[in-house]
Chains A and B, each alone.
Chain A
Amino acid sequence: MNFAMALDYQSCIDCKACEVACKEENGVQLGADKQRIWVSQSEKSIFGEPFVALHPSQCNHCQDAPCVDVCPTGSSYFALGGIVMTNKDTCILCKGCMEACPYDARFVDDTHVAVDKCTFCYDTRIVNGEMTTACQATCPTKVRLFGDLDDEEGELIQMLNKRKFYVLKEDEGTVPKLFYMIPEHDKNYAMNSVDEGTNIYTWDEFKPIIEMAKAKRKPQWQAMQE
């Protein structure tokens, strides 16, 4: 199993249901700066007309995660299916992982005095055999699709086979696993909502990158019981 998520970001309406569902599901600390997931908004003017693109985001659960490497206590680790987790008991709040993360996905949870981040609802849902995250389940326009990259028959792979996508900050070399699906039928919107210089991938092109990073990291993955 290798868990990942596809985001059909063009359907996002920035209603913040995912942010609230996440907080309720996972008991995330209150506060606007305490977010496991968020929607970033880019606003520009094209020939005097406003243009806004919404990009929902969270921890990328990188296949080659730098946050795991920098952690001196092993508090940041790979759990089942390559999900990047934090162990709040062993975190010493050195914040090295927060520095290492190129996605700003981590923050300090003052209630546990430890670093917190998205877990793909690992401990509340995945370990119970559920295959949706709280953010996916609650989403009114169904932006998110959580799934298993090893399941060739699964919906996630089917979607990745069908549509092109990009990942965030590819040049950081982290091999992120949030796939942003390119709008298929509106080239203008697609162009305007993706940064210049961003690579667009098909699954055939990206799969080897994932496989390589997985081979490197798989030995570090922990089994379910841990």
Chain B
Amino acid sequence: MKVEISRRKFLQGSVALSITGGSTVSFTNLLATDKKPLHKNVKIATVCEMCVNKCTAWAKVEDGIVKKLDPNPLFPKSKNMLCARGDAGIHALYDPDRLKYPLIRIGKKGEGKFKRATWEEAYHAILNGTKLFKGMKQILEEEKDNRSTLGYCAGEGMGEHTFKQFMGDLIGSANFVNHSSICLKTTTAGYALTLGAYGKADLDNAKYVIMAGANRAEAILTPDTMDMFKRTRGRGLKLIVLDPRYTNTAQHADKWLGIKVGTDLAFVLALTYVVIKEVLFNKEFVAKNMNHFQEYKTHILTNNYTPEWAEKITGIKSHEIYTIARDFMAHAPSAIYYQGRRTAWSLQDFQLRRAQAIFTALGGGIDMKGGIVFGKKLPLDEHTVEIPLYSNIQRRIDKKEATFVGPNGTWIGFRNAIIEKRTPYPLRAMFSYKQNPMQAIPNIAKTRKMFEMLDLAVTIDTMPSDTVMMSDVILPECTYLEREDPVKSFAGVEPAIILRNKVIEPMYDTRAVYDILKGLSQVISKPLFKITAKYDADVQEEIKDASYEDVYEENGFNITKAYEHTQEHINKERVVNEYGEEAYKILKEKGVFYPHMDTYFKQLGMNEYQYYPDDKKYYTSPGGEKLDAQDTCIDEKAIAALKKNLGTASGKVECYLETMKKNGVDPMPTWRDELYNEAPKGKFKFVTGRHAQQTQNSTANNIMLLDVMRENYVWINKEQADEKGIKYGDIVEVKSSVGIIYIKAYPTIKIIKDVVFYVHGFGQESTGLTFGYRNGASDNMIIEDTIESVFGTAAMHETLVEVRKV
């Protein structure tokens, strides 16, 4: 965030940054309520954390035991549902394999031998190291207070910001990596730089939707897209699904097209060609809201992106492309080319997302009902925390791994730079929170090598994941049902604020991440300042002017100050300051608050609720502000930075990006033959995906979820399976250039030829996972570590594999 700026450029002393969470006004009288004992035999409003979606739930507690989780219908985003994972949240809480106490490594790295420790012992091991590994003190001493030598990563979650604030703002490291470069980085960037924001597809009102590769019926089951499945098949929404697989989403589509892997860009360009050639676009919208349309028009026409051209690449008949282009525009502006979520698929992914966004805009469905909407966000009071400024911090190690590397990094670039010793200085430690890089990053062998090279690996998690096994110190977090997390405001057509209440007290010797970091700060704050005072020239100057103690206390170096209040106190203050005591009471009791909820919220039927009356919904964002706080996977601040650095201030749809041109990237979406690889004879393209019963790797040991899906199977086209003599349930070997796995086969007509698929989240190697250990196979064992060059996002569908029966 601010780490590369010398504090000399700022005011003397510390800088108060506006950070969500914290205090501006003192509410000492409110503290008393924080200590209230938790009730027995009650229903407590909470927020699910089995995935990223934040569905609200009621936890039924009997005699201190959580007995059942039910959907809480009050939240407009999650409506009235819990998915299989949400229902199985109790088994995350009562999982017998949970991390129960802090642990310190006593065996070889990765061997899985740890000793039980107290929190104080664990904190001191992080600071001072042990015989087997180095501590922060020694590392920072050796690196002369370059805080960036301590890398950190986090998975998405309500506590992610708390952790980022600690490692980035308070400790001072610039080396943060999170899910975005193995997730939807190219998509959010593509939409943010083209439309101004990723936005949200208004699937409740759209009349025509093209969903390519996205699998809303299965992949991490997103609650705000569920109503779509009540609207297909002649019920108001025409759904076109493009996917090499006939997914559960395709099953609901009015048309399914089995597109060849990695060719989506050619398809969108051909749609655009038809629409421009036949002048089907929304002329008024284009004239008013699109920049450089003429250049784009010429570009599309002169490149001859005809449906006939696209047919050869995509495998989709040209007449289908003509029909879809015409139908789309006939339904526009209530027509959307769905943005997509998840990772980049191909090397051309950024251009694909740009082309999709421009194509949607040609129909005019932007910032309006039935199109891509941006909504409104309910404000929460900001909270400030004093942060120190260090002058010896160096910039990110992965800056050169892609054209634009943002504050969330490029995971593959970051890791590969470490193991291939391309970093400008050594990256010596890794602090992981709620992320499992060992299973999450393509090419597991390389991630293992990175962990082996580190001097210190500290991991905060609830389960003994594969990453935990590679760590030196393990700090056990309590589950979401045992803690209150930062209050969260969700922007949207129907904005709301939600709160995750603590349902029961933390079990075993576990703590919430906020309390873990509070404890750690108390142990490391003073010793680390000593190192800063020794190596930081600016701090030495300041100490000359003031005193050692004063600089420590007054200039933000006493990082324990960030944790003066409890999370509960901070939440209360942020809500009360904005909406008053009554609103906080409602939020605490019901888990959800928005103005006029008492009159707007109505049950319309056994299965239907109204959240906002239709005329009060924010289909068009007030003031034209394009918001991105609708989805927790999307980092608003990262997007804002991206737009500031690479975007334009026009507020219009950008067909042409000058910033890209300057950096050698195509300024307009362009198909590049050289970036497309077709599977040669005898090989298959491997595709991965998500489903509705597991969330990434985090639920791999959940016995209830394993009950509905025990292991993954590799999908292979039935005809090709027959040729190879592969039958259902046969064990097959799947081999890529980076790894080999063995998995059971599922020959099916639901996948096109020359492609094989199996779902992510299986094949855990941690022996600490009694139920999850070696079920099925891990996709990242075989996915090659290929990144697209613009943002360094993992291109996960570029791997070629061989399949044989064993």
Contact = CB atoms under 8 A, between A and B. Distances in A.
A194 interface: no
Contacts of B86: 17, 138
B233 interface: yes
A157 B17 CA distance: 59
Given A19-B84, A137-B70, A145 B234 contact: no
B689 interface: no
A142 B707 contact: no
A162 to B, nearest CB: 13
Given A140-B226, A184-B234, A16 B693 contact: yes
Interface stretch (B116-124, B215-223, B405-413): B215-223
B749 interface: yes
Given A19-B708, A20-B708, A147 B606 contact: yes
A142 B230 contact: yes
Given A137-B70, A145-B607, A186-B234, A24 B252 contact: no
Contacts of A23: 704, 707
Given A13-B248, A24-B90, A141 B83 contact: no
Contacts of A11: 229-230
A140 B606 contact: no
A17 B230 contact: no
A137 B71 contact: yes
B231 to A, nearest CB: 9
B87 A24 contact: yes
Nearest to B221: A15
B512 interface: no
Contact of A146 (B84, B606, B692): B606
Contacts of B514: none
A140 B70 contact: no
Contacts, number: 127
A134 to B, nearest CB: 8
A50 B749 contact: yes
B84 A17 contact: yes
Interface in B235-267: 235, 246, 248-249, 251-252, 256
A189 B81 contact: no
B705 interface: yes
B144 interface: no
Given A43-B750, A52-B750, A30 B707 contact: yes
A141 B229 contact: yes
B606 A155 contact: yes
A79 interface: no
Given A49-B256, A140-B81, A147-B606, A15 B230 contact: no
Contacts of B709: 16
Contact of B708 (A13, A16, A134, A184): A16
B252 A142 contact: no
B217 A136 contact: no
Nearest to A184: B234
B251 A185 contact: no
B74 interface: no
Contacts of A145: 606-607
A202 B605 CA distance: 22
Contacts of A186: 233-234
A52 B249 CA distance: 11
A52 B246 contact: yes
Contact of B607 (A19, A142, A184): A142
Interface string B52-88: 0000000000000000111100000000111111111
B507 interface: no
Contact of B83 (A8, A15, A52, A147): A15
B652 interface: no
A189 B254 CA distance: 10
Contact of B749 (A17, A45, A142, A155): A45
B692 A15 contact: yes
B710 interface: yes
Which 10 residue pairs spanning A and B have beta carbons closest together? A185-B234, A186-B233, A13-B217, A142-B607, A15-B692, A140-B226, A20-B87, A20-B84, A140-B81, A50-B246
16 contacts: A14-B217, A15-B221, A16-B84, A17-B81, A19-B84, A20-B88, A21-B82, A24-B69, A32-B708, A32-B710, A50-B256, A52-B251, A137-B71, A140-B83, A145-B606, A186-B234
Interface of A: 8, 10-11, 13-17, 19-21, 23-25, 30-32, 43, 45, 49-50, 52, 54, 131-132, 134, 136-142, 145-147, 155, 183-186, 189
Given A13-B252, A20-B84, 8 more contacts: A10-B233, A11-B230, A20-B85, A24-B88, A45-B749, A49-B256, A50-B256, A147-B606
